[in-house]
Copies of this chain bind each other. A is one copy, B any other.
Amino acid sequence: MKKSLGARTVLYPTPALVICTYDGEGRPNAMTAAWAGICCSSPPCVAVSLRKATYTHGCIGARQAFTVNVPSEKYVREVDYFGMTSGRKTDKFAATGLSPERSDAVDAPYIREFPFALECRLVHVLELGLHTQFVGEIVDLKADEEVLAADGSLDVEKVRPILYAPDGGSYFGVGKNLGKAFSIGRRGS
């Protein structure tokens, strides 16, 4: 018999991502977001939910674009910092030493040091309550060659992404390979 824990926003795994934008003056900004996920295969779209109070919320509205940056675990301190400080008052790139690279696909920067980024143009805005959901069409994906597998796919074990555990509030790395999808669950005929 399961225990009722009440209405709680817990899902495992939840990603730890960094959303990058330019503000109205063209200054690059970065903030950490966990309420996010791919939401459509065709057109390829990703959804990111942000509180209205965040600086990034206004930047996405102004520029109609953002990037979703997937960090490696070695940048876990920077990721945590990006989630605690507002770009309104602080140049977070200067503070961390990370580099905003101008996207050639959308009006937003991505982080040079992170292994890959989704470059998105805003296609839907859904007001949900405390959070606004921004749906971006993925226009391009930029990645470091070093994190690609031999077949050109993004190798999770090279990317080493960060999981965020909303309950308990900790970050985790990726563990062992459990098997091939659309394969290990196949039943005998």
Q: Which residues of A contact B (CB under 8 A)?
A: 2-15, 17, 34-47, 49, 51, 68, 70, 73, 76-84, 95, 101, 105, 110, 112, 116-118, 124, 126, 128-131, 133, 135, 137-145, 148-149, 151-156, 159, 161-187
Given A169-B182, A185-B78, CB of A144 within 8 Å of CB of B37:
no
- Are B178's CB and A162's CB within 8 A? yes
Contacting residue for A83 out of B8, B159, B185, CB 8 A:
B185
Q: How far is the CA of A7 from the CA of B163 in the complex (A)?
A: 23
- Are A181's CB and B12's CB within 8 A? no
Given A11-B46, A39-B47, CB of A5 within 8 Å of CB of B80:
no
